[in-house]
Amino acid sequence: MSRVPGWLGRIGAGLTEMGERLDERRAEAEREHDEDGAQPPEEAVLPDHVTVVAARPDPAQAVPWGMRVAAEAGWRLLILAGTVWVLMRVISAVQLVVLAFVGALLITALLQPTVERLRRIGFPRGLATALTAILGFVVMGLIGWFVTWQVMENIDNLSSQVQDGIDELRKWLLHSPFHVTDKQINQIAKNLREAIGSNTDAITSVGLEGVTVVVEALTGILLTIFSTLFLLYDGRRIWEWTLKLVPAAARPGVAGAGPRAWRTLTAYVRGTVLVALIDAIFIGLGIYFLDVPMAVPLAVFIFLFAFIPLVGAVVSGALAVVVALVTQGVFTAVMTLAVVLAVQQIEGHILQPFILGRAVRVHPLAVVLSVAAGGMIAGIGGAVVAVPLVAVTNTVVGYLRSYSRESALRYSPKPHGATAVDSAPADADAQAAAPSDARPVRTGPQPSEPTA
Q: What is the pTM (predicted TM-score) of this model?
A: 0.63
Q: Using CA atoms, how far apart are residues 433 and 425, in angstroms rounded to an integer?
A: 12
How far apart are the C-alpha atoms of 300 and 323, rounded to whole Å? 15
**Residue 244 pLDDT more than 50?**
yes
d(CA 444, CA 244): 10
Number of C-alpha atoms within 13 angstroms, CB side, residue 115? 28
Position 82 scores a pLDDT of: 92
Residue 357 — very low, low, confident or very high, per pLDDT cuts 50/70/90?
low
Contact present, 393 and 268 (Cβ < 8 Å) = no
Buried b (16+ CB within 10 A) or exposed e, 275-313: bbebbbebbbebbeebebbbbebbbbbbbbbbbbbbbbb
What is the overall mean pLDDT for the chain?
74
CB atoms within 10 A of CB 383: 23
* Residue 355 scores a pLDDT above 50: yes
- Residues of the chain with pLDDT > 70, as a percent, come to 69
Mean pLDDT over residues 150-160, rounded? 68
Mean pLDDT of 229-235: 87
Q: pLDDT value at position 190?
A: 66
Q: What is the pLDDT of residue 444?
A: 41
Highest mean pLDDT among 103-117, 205-219, 402-416: 103-117
292 or 12: which carries more pLDDT confidence?
292
Residue 433 pLDDT > 50, yes or no? no
More confident residue, 394 or 179: 394
Q: Are 209 and 101 in contact (CB under 8 A)?
A: no
CA distance 229 to 132: 9
What integer pLDDT is reported at residue 78 of this predicted model? 93
In 3D, which of 310, 403, 408, 314 has the Cα closest to residue 362? 310
CB-CB contact of 265 with 106 (8 Å):
yes
Instruction: Give the pLDDT band (50/70/90) at residue 77.
Output: very high
Mean pLDDT of 361-388: 79
Weakest-pLDDT range from 21-30, 35-44, 227-236: 35-44
